[in-house]
Amino acid sequence: MGVKKIAALIVGIGCVWPRPSLVEAHLSPPTPRTQLLWLHYDGTQFRLIRSQLDSDATSSYTPSPSSSGTFRLALESEDGRVLFVSHFDDPRLIHVDRVTEEGDIHGEALLLPETIVPLRVPYVEEATRLRISGGNIPTGVLPLEAPIEALDATGALPPYTTQTIIRTGPSCNRLDIVFLGDGYRATEMEKFDRDVRAFADHLLKTPPYAAYRYAINIHKVNVISRDSGIDRPSLGLYRDTALDMTFDFEGVPNAVYAPVESEYKIYRAAALVPDADLIIVLVNERDLGGSSGPLKNISVVTTHALGPELLVHELGHSLAFLADEDDGPLAPPLREPMKVNVTLERTREGLRRVGKWDYWIEDAQSPSESRTRVGLFEGGLGASYGVFRPAPTCKMRTLGQPFCPVCAEQHVRRFYFYIRPIDAVSPPPIAPLSVHETTADTLVFRVIPLEPSPGRLHIAWFVDGLPLEHHESSLSLPTATLSPGQHTVTVVVTDRTPFVRWDPSGLLSSRVSWTLTR
């Protein structure tokens, strides 16, 4: 299939698209191609179904090795050299949520009996095997065959039509969301279109999505089912639908998902939009239900009146990798959770030690007197004691509430796994520029930033590493100011959004350099 960044372990640095009177240019030298490894996992072993070359040959996205996760993945050469290492969590994990009449969320984590998952890794010709270890299962060594070039790695693409609902720019520097439908008959395609637009409108009006709506593309695939609605085994109702979605998944009434053999159908339908980053399945049912698979980048939600709000919450799991912040009878975990919005620490110093939200806590007598209202509030991960969350209320705890500052920040950081602050530059920074006597008196450099929120992006120019007192999108450089020899002009664009206070990986900055020779 052709989903370009489905594993969400990718960092981008911009792209090229047509602009009037602007020279199109890639923002970095061509990066090595990547491949999708389609894995099947049943809780005892991994099986490699096949590998597929990235369909987006112009993409400047590269896998970002992760140092945390249940499983360790390594690409190895024939002589045992390790060529790439990353980590990932159990791909069988999905989140399901029960919502009370007051909008409070009580989440539950389910482990599917088996699942398939596409993981993105670099394509290295020397790599002959894949080694997966961890998770209390025997280490698996899987031979790598030559990857296929086809767009679809799971079978023939279905004959559904597609439509782009919102296009803000090129997919290589946008977050692309694709909506699929299940339980919609051919006569209900107009309803599906209205549902998609209503859900997308709600999403793009919700902070922090609202501030980055111009960095998001929305698509839909018109998936047609024979029957309207989906299965509900507890009531003896069974329907013939395209994606085989069902209520009562794994015995949980509000859990809506599909059996493993039908996950292929989801990926095949999404492959009709090859640039999709996130998959949303709208289920044509009035009762509330949903689920999300973080490693799969799949969120499922019904068309209940609270569906749009539940979708934003589910994206908190599948896009932002956030935990539920609900109270409950569960015991606290034995180890510090990996999720950024829950902790076992009880002090600000403890938060600083585990690298969590201490920098959001302002010096005040109590969090209620702080402008951010961020502190340590007991209750989260289904435990009423021993687990702490950042704020008294948050969308990861109660529908209808805004995301707390910590969860909003994590969303923006995740946005920047798909986008970069620079859209295009001129001239192309590919080859050194030669400044001759016949050259114009002035060299003009231009940058077109991806403007997520007007006035939030900061542009800085440097010549030979020295900053200039100039912060506009174009720079006119008199050639007479350049001495003989080699020089470097650099532009750095940074998103100074108030949503983010800590950016340890520098995701919110992009830089491009030109080399000049005189």
- Helix (H) / strand (E) containing 313: helix 307-318
Residues contacting residue 467 through CB under 8 Å, at least 6 positions apart:
460, 461
pLDDT at 371: 63
Q: Quote the pLDDT of residue 38.
A: 86
Residue 308: Cβ within 10 Å count = 20
Q: How far is CA 51 from CA 126, 152, 190, 272, 455, in A?
A: 15, 11, 37, 19, 43
Per-residue pLDDT, 66: 52
Reduced to 3 states, what is the DSSP secondary structure of residue 349?
Answer: helix
Taking only the tens of pLDDT, the chain with its 518 residues reads: 333 443 332 222 233 333 322 333 334 334 457 888 889 999 999 999 888 876 543 333 334 445 557 899 999 999 999 999 988 888 998 889 889 888 999 988 888 889 988 888 888 889 999 999 998 899 999 999 877 665 444 456 789 999 999 999 999 999 999 999 999 999 999 999 999 999 999 999 999 999 999 999 999 999 999 999 999 999 999 999 999 999 998 888 888 998 887 888 998 899 899 889 999 999 999 999 999 987 788 999 999 999 999 999 999 999 999 999 999 999 999 999 999 999 999 999 999 999 999 999 987 645 555 566 899 999 999 999 999 999 999 999 999 999 999 999 999 999 999 999 999 999 988 878 887 754 678 899 999 999 776 668 999 999 999 999 999 999 999 988 888 899 999 999 999 999 999 999 899 999 999 999 88
- Residue 371 makes CB contacts below 8 A (sequence gap 6+) with 362
Cα separation, 14 vs 59, in Å, equals: 9
Q: Which domains does the chain show, CATH number per domain? A: 10-319 (3.40.390.10), 324-399 (no CATH), 422-517 (2.60.40)
pLDDT for the residue numbered 19: 30
Cα–Cα distances in angstroms (integers) from residue 65 to residues 138, 382, 428, 511, in the given order: 22, 30, 29, 21
Q: Tell me the C-alpha distance between 126 and 84, whole Å.
A: 11
- Cα distances from 418 to residues 8, 9, 24, 57, 169, in angstroms, run 8, 9, 20, 16, 13
Query: What's this model's pTM, rounded to 2 decimal places?
Result: 0.88
